[in-house]
Amino acid sequence: MKKAVLASAILASLVAGTANAATVYEDDSKSLSIGGRAEARFNISDKNKKDDGNAFEDKSRARINLKGKAKINDHITAFGKYEVELADGKKELSKVELDDNGELVSTYKEADKVQTRYVYAGFDTQAGAFSYGKQDSAQVMLTDYTDILATFGGDGVDLVDGNKDKRENNFLYAGEFNNFTVAANYIAENNNDEKDSDSYGIAAQYAFPFGLSLGAGYVNGQDGTDVDANQYNLAASYEFNNFYAGATYASGENGDTDLTGYELATAFKMNKFIAQAAYNFKQSEKSGVKTDKEDYFALEGIYKFNKNLRTYAGYKFQQLDDKDDELQVGIRYDF
């Protein structure tokens, strides 16, 4: 089961070694580890159908990461991480727009075969960890309360760009004080991308000793030129023995559009099998007109043979008429 609510989640991600990673080099002052995964998976849905009517789509991928740390003195440790994902370079939808005749025209582009997921470096001190690069926003420790499935989920509460994971030009601070964790970040405007704009955010969570965790966060900035955007997040989770339940709620604005979203997730572990479920909902409101953006249930089963190998299957039950149900199945090896 993914224990997303541990108070040390962000610091562990920044500084500690990757799960199942192999230590390449280690001495009294520094270490380097390598890890990753090979994941063969496929998706079946009517949304995959092209001219041939085939609903099957391969979504296999692999990831490789390097993580290192080095002691500067008794109070400061330097760290860095690089992670890349390799996948088939298939065409993906770039944009949909109206042509001169008022007809919708879809534009596709070749997807990158190699994508950098994370690249950042920083230093860890007694006051917390400071880092810069392509990394998660401060809000991810809250959205991870419900983004626990291997197949679907994580679509309900990212209302603005500054709330999401893997943000470029991201300055991040994370500190853990007993059971209290606080994180703050600033994303600098990227002049090479007209969509990316600056934003800042702060998030905090407290883990009670009896399994309950509570968190809250706030993001403010821009989503594109002269488009003000903000949102706040509330999160809660409870874990007892082999049972886990989490909920996140978000509300915000993007320009003159009001946004609301929430996610619910639960998991139950039975020996090597994990049963999980999630519900995602997102809605926008502009000029008094409400539009549902996400509305679906997802059920998933995972079987872990050992700490390295697992297989899984998940089904998404869409509640919106213009979206299709999906089945996703995969087998994953972590190293």
Residue numbers of the domain that contains 252: 9-90+107-334
Per the domain annotation, does 167 fall within a domain? yes
- Round to the nearest angstrom and report the end-to-end CA distance of the chain: 18
Q: Give the pLDDT band (50/70/90) at residue 87.
A: confident
Per the domain annotation, does 3 fall within a domain? no
Q: Which two tokens stand for residue 50?
A: 């092209």
Closest CA to 162 of 90, 222, 114, 87: 222
Closest CA to 59 of 335, 333, 329, 334: 329
Which tens digit of pLDDT belongs to each residue from 134-185?
999 999 999 999 999 999 999 999 999 999 999 999 999 999 999 999 999 9
Per the domain annotation, does 102 fall within a domain? no
Which tens digit of pLDDT belongs to each residue from 94-106?
555 555 554 545 5
Which tens digit of pLDDT belongs to each residue from 209-251?
999 999 999 999 988 777 899 999 999 999 999 999 999 999 9
Closest CA to 76 of 130, 12, 17: 130
Per the domain annotation, does 98 fall within a domain? no
What total of structural domains would you count in the chain? 1
Q: Which two tokens stand for residue 317?
A: 């039950």
Provide the percentage of residues in the chain whose pLDDT is more than 70: 85
CATH code of residue 236:
2.40.160.10
Q: 3-state SS string over 240-306?
A: ECCEEEEEEEEEEEECCEEEEEEEEEEEEEECCEEEEEEEEEEEEEECCEEEEEEEEEEEEEEEECC
Residue 273: burial class (beta carbons within 10 Å; 0-12, 13-18, 19+): exposed
pLDDT at 191: 61
Give the integer Cα–Cα distance in Å for 294 and 316: 12
Closest CA to 4 of 227, 154, 124, 125: 154
Q: Give the pLDDT band (50/70/90) at residue 50.
A: confident
